[in-house]
Amino acid sequence: MTPSTPTMTIAELSSPAKALTQRGTVVGTFQYIAPEVLQGTEADARSDIFSLGCVLYELVSGQRAFEGKSQLGVLTSILEKDPEPLSKVRPTSPAALDHVVKTCLEKNPEERFQTALDVKLQLRWIADGGAPAEKPREKAMSRAAWLVAGLAILAIVSIAGYFLVFNSHSSPVVQSSILPPDGTSFVTTVPGSGPPIISPDGTRLAFTARDDKGKILLYVRQLNSTASTPLPGTEDAMYPFWSPESREIGFSFQAS
């Protein structure tokens, strides 16, 4: 079922559609958002640990921890699936690093590292050669491969240090809402309805709205602005979608 509420929290993308507009929209880069945030619970430092785990996984493996054909697919993957172990994606990576990343990406916050300092200490231990002894087959690995792994671990330690400093200060809770432009209203009736869609690069929002004359147009809004721009030639547009590179917008329309 396609959600039809004009204003949605991220959690509502994975729950049944509701009839009323919900205030308090959360905007973020979906691939790095912790499961508890998607489910609408309060975020804390452990939510940042999950995001850090996503960054570490991508840095070492060269691919994102959670993928999907759509934003909803990505959210479902975060909530229900575990990424493929680094030991399979990048066999040259230390086994201890696989354990660290897996712990960061636990669905339950209680089972993750509780602070960025915990992650930093583990990564520094790995970088200092504290990982378990290698198997004979692993000893045959080329020196070049180990050099690449070592550089990756050093980069990870640097990132972990940044998160440690970032989390040493309490972060305020930010709430925002998506409102229709002045003189318009969101389209909420089927089949002309459709949810607002955030661009893959996380900078813009596309949605449809009806003016006081009944004319429906597609609008685009920068997420760092409250002003929305109507797109000419998009009369009766519905269910907009972005191109992967966030440069173009497609949409459906109801035939006369």
Over the stretch 166-196, which tens digit does the pLDDT of each residue have?
A: 555 555 554 566 778 888 887 776 666 677 8
Q: Which residues pair with 252 in a beta bridge?
A: 238
Q: Does domain 30-167 have CATH number 2.30.30.100?
A: no
The answer to whether residues 35 and 65 touch, using CB atoms and an 8 Å cutoff, is: no
227 band by pLDDT with thresholds 50, 70 and 90: confident
What local confidence, expressed as pLDDT, does residue 167 receive?
Answer: 54
- The domain locations on the chain are 30-167, 180-253
13 or 161, which is more confident: 161
- Alpha-carbon distance of 4 to 225, in angstroms, equals 24
- The closest alpha carbon to 101, from 113, 88, 115, 117, belongs to 113
Over the stretch 14-65, which tens digit does the pLDDT of each residue have?
A: 444 343 334 444 455 668 888 888 887 888 889 889 988 898 898 888 888 8
Tokens standing for residue 223: 């997420």
Q: Cis check for the bond before 191: say yes or no (omega within 30 of 0).
A: yes
What local confidence, expressed as pLDDT, does residue 155 receive?
Answer: 64
Average pLDDT of the residues in 142-170: 58
- The closest alpha carbon to 17, from 6, 29, 3, 30, belongs to 3
